[in-house]
Amino acid sequence: MPKQQRKVSNAIQQLFENKKKGVAWLIDPGKFDPNSISDVFWENLHGLELDLILVGGSQDESSDLGELIQFIKERTSPIPVVLFPGSYQQVCPEADAILFMSLISGRNPEYLISQQVQASRTIQNSGLEVLPTAYLLVNDGEICSVHRKSGTLPLLNEELDLILDTALAGKFLGMNYVYLDAGSGSSSSVSTRVIQAVSSELRLPLIVGGGLNKLKKIHQCFEAGADLVVIGNQIEKDPDFLVEVLNFKKFYNEELHVN
């Protein structure tokens, strides 16, 4: 089926312009166990306004990524499925879109441009919607899988000017989205001070993730200016957490912030 070319960017833009908050469920192909999710869970998801499903992992490519995406789509359509690739080998035409990221918090050319070059032809041939994304690893100095894989250090929450300059450079290079990631399973999230500053200076849709395992942390991200939060690990541990987060988001969007 031909893809709707701007389906995902339009959905994110709508959130951003309407000051509504979004939630993305990150499914890690290396860890996802289809048997851990009941049929009832998939059915209930339809009434809960999940904004996006991200699929990706820092571990190496699983050969049946296409099958996994088909499996997810059969149960969640029309929720967009977006690739969050750890490498060019995770480009998969079954998805709707790809976060076309450059790891600009680091200085490893492999993740600044080389992976992107290796992915481009496949993406061009796939018809995937491309979401040019400035990807910054930001935490309190914790080691995470992206750090291990890319060999780059995270920026520290306290390095506010450097974070802002880096994100601005991404904007000036034409990237349309900023993703501040504390890293999968991180205990120190991106600080609210950083989220606030990036949100107010950049004025681009802002994605925040990494270690968001409590409603309180998600609330803080929303209040600070995140447009879309990404949750992976905590849903792997407890799928009902996604339901809680989506109910909370609905309440936040409808009750607390009536325009």
Ligand X SMILES: CC(C)=CCC/C(C)=C/CC/C(C)=C/CC/C(C)=C/COP(=O)(O)OP(=O)(O)O
- Residues annotated within the binding site for sn-glycerol 1-phosphate are 179-185, 210-211, 232-233
Which residues, 6 or more positions from 35, have their beta carbon under 8 angstroms from its beta carbon? Answer: none
**Among residues 87 and 157, whose Cβ is nearest to ligand X?**
87
Check: CB of residue 217 under 8 Å from CB of residue 224: no
- Angle in degrees, CA 175, 180, 182, rounded to 5: 150
138 touches ligand 1GP by CB under 6 A: no
126 touches Mg ion by CB under 5 A: no
94 touches Mg ion by CB under 5 A: no
239 touches ligand 1GP by CB under 6 A: no
178 touches ligand X by CB under 6 A: no
**From candidates 16, 88, 248, 252, binder to ligand X by CB under 6 A:** 88
The rounded distance, in Å, linking the Cα atoms of 198 and 161 is 10
Stretch that binds ligand 1GP, among 34-42, 70-78, 224-232, 247-255 (CB under 6 A): 224-232
| DSSP 8-state code for residue 111 | I
The distance of closest approach from Cβ of residue 19 to ligand X in the complex, given in angstroms and rounded to an integer, is 27
Stretch that binds ligand X, among 35-43, 66-74, 86-94, 245-253 (CB under 6 A): 86-94
59 touches ligand X by CB under 6 A: yes
Residue numbers 22-61 binding Mg ion by CB under 5 A: 28
Which residues, 6 or more positions from 138, have their beta carbon under 8 angstroms from its beta carbon? Answer: 105, 154, 155, 156, 157, 163, 180, 181, 182, 190, 194
The rounded distance, in Å, linking the Cα atoms of 66 and 68 is 5
The rounded distance, in Å, linking the Cα atoms of 237 and 253 is 26
Question: Can you tell me which residue has the tokens 């935490």?
Answer: 139
**Among residues 187 and 255, whose Cβ is nearest to ligand 1GP?**
187
With the CA atoms of 128, 130, 136 and 137 taken in that order, what torsion angle do they form, in degrees rounded to the nearest 10?
A: 0
Angle separating helix axes 240-251 and 215-224, nearest 10 degrees = 40
User: Which of ligand 1GP, Mg ion, ligand X, none sits in contact with 212, Cβ below 5 to 8 A by type?
Assistant: ligand 1GP
The distance of closest approach from Cβ of residue 211 to ligand X in the complex, given in angstroms and rounded to an integer, is 11
**Among residues 44 and 62, whose Cβ is nearest to ligand X?**
62
133 touches ligand 1GP by CB under 6 A: no
User: Which of ligand 1GP, Mg ion, ligand X, none sits in contact with 80, Cβ below 5 to 8 A by type?
Assistant: none
